[in-house]
Amino acid sequence: MHTPADALALFMNLSGQRPLGLTEAPTIRQGCVEALEKAAKTIEDEAKRVIGTYEYGWEPLKPATIARKVHGDTPLYETGVLQDSIEHHVDPDNLTAQVGSNDPTAEWQELGTSRGIPPRSFLMGAAMVKEKEITEQTGVHIHGLILKQMT
């Protein structure tokens, strides 16, 4: 039988070395990478989904803006370029994940501008909306891996 200290050592030792005689530490690292991948994909999907809606309580578009838009009253959505530009990347070596866009307008839309574009935080908003879901998914996933390795 292993102690809570054994479980902690297994979880904290993500380098792949075998702590305390336990033989499956790389599985825990891979599980962390998988959990990051799922979390980042969840945020990416949510950020893409919310574009064109007012679900996050964004400031309404001005009537003049709506009048010139092909798709009408659809904040952040005109051609789909911004939506399509949202991607995620997981760095398995550093156990980090990023969700973002390479579209230059993404920053203006996310943060707003001094020239009158109000912030419509589709990236941070998605992360905040999905925080509880991701925390629960990740916790259950990693807990299951630790239990599997300790039995």
Question: Tell me: the pLDDT tens digits for 8-52?
Answer: 665 555 545 544 444 444 567 788 888 999 999 999 999 999 999
Q: What is the CA radius of gyration of the chain?
A: 21
User: Does the structure show a pLDDT above 60 at 1?
Assistant: no
Of the listed ranges 26-40, 66-80, 100-114, the least confidently predicted one is 26-40
Cα distance between residue 133 and residue 128, in whole Å: 10
Can you give the residue range of the structural domain that contains 115? 4-150
Of the listed ranges 82-91, 103-112, 123-132, 142-151, the least confidently predicted one is 142-151
pTM of the predicted protein model: 0.79
Total domains, the chain: 1
Burial (CB count within 10 angstroms: exposed 0-12, middle 13-18, buried 19+), residue 78: middle
Give the rounded percent of residues in the chain with a pLDDT score beyond 70: 80
What is the arithmetic mean of pLDDT over 54-59?
96
In one letter, which amino acid is 91?
D
Cβ count within 10 A of residue 35 = 21
Q: Do residues 33 and 95 touch, judged by C-beta distance below 8 A?
A: yes
User: Does the structure show a pLDDT above 90 at 138?
Assistant: no
Cβ count within 10 A of residue 47 = 29
User: Does the structure show a pLDDT above 70 at 6?
Assistant: no
Cα distance between residue 103 and residue 84, in whole Å: 9
Q: Name residues whose C-beta falls within 8 Å of residue 54's C-beta, 6 or more positions apart in sequence.
A: 60, 75
- Computed over every residue of the chain, the mean pLDDT equals 85
